Structure 1
Amino acid sequence: MADWGPVLIGVVLFLFLSPGLLFEIPGNNRPLEFGSMKTNGKAIAFHTILFFAIYSILTLALHVHIYTG
C-alpha cells in the first residue's frame, strides 16, 4: 500500500503557498497583497519557511496518512 498523505499535503500546500498566486507576505508595495502574480526574495523566503513549518506539523506531528491500493 502506498502512503499518499505527504504527497497530497505537499501539492496542496505548494498551490496555496506559492508567493503571488493567492497571497504574498510581504508584498511589493504592502505587507499583504492578494493575487499580485509578482514576487520578491523576502516573500519567497517567508513562504518557504511557512511551507516547511506546516508540512512538518502535518506529516510528522499529526501523522496524516492516506493509503491506497
Structure 2
Amino acid sequence: MSDWGPVFVAMVLFVLLTPGLFFQVPGHHRCVEFGNFKTSGASVLIHSLLYFGLICVFLLAVKVHLYLG
C-alpha cells in the first residue's frame, strides 16, 4: 500500500506558503501583508524556511500517514 501522507502534506503546505498568495513575510510596506500577489527574494527565503520547518514537523515528529485503497 502506498503512503500518500507526505505527498498530501507537501502539496498543502506548498500552496498555503506560496509567497503573496495568502500572506507575505516580510511584505513590501509592512512586516506581514495579506493577499498582495507580489513577492520578493527575502519573502521567498522566509517562506522556504517556514516550509522546511513545517514539513519536518509534520513528517518527522507527527508522522502523518494517509493510505488509500
Q: State the Cα deviation string for residues 5-63 of structure 1 (Å, max 9, x = none).
A: 00000010011100000000000111110000000011000000000000011001111
Match of 2:17 in 1: 17
Give unpaired runs (5+ residues) of structure 1.
Answer: none
Pairwise CA distance, 1:68 = 1.3
Quick one: distance in 2 between partners of 1:34 and 1:68?
A: 35
Give unpaired runs (5+ residues) of structure 2.
Answer: none
Please state whether the residue corresponding to 1:3 is helix, strand or coil.
Answer: coil
Quick one: distance in 2 between partners of 1:28 and 1:39?
A: 8
Two-structure CA RMSD over aligned residues (Å)? 0.6
Higher strand share: 1
User: Normalising to structure 2: TM-score of the pair?
Assistant: 0.96
Please state whether the residue corresponding to 2:64 is helix, strand or coil.
Answer: coil
Alignment length, in residue pairs?
69
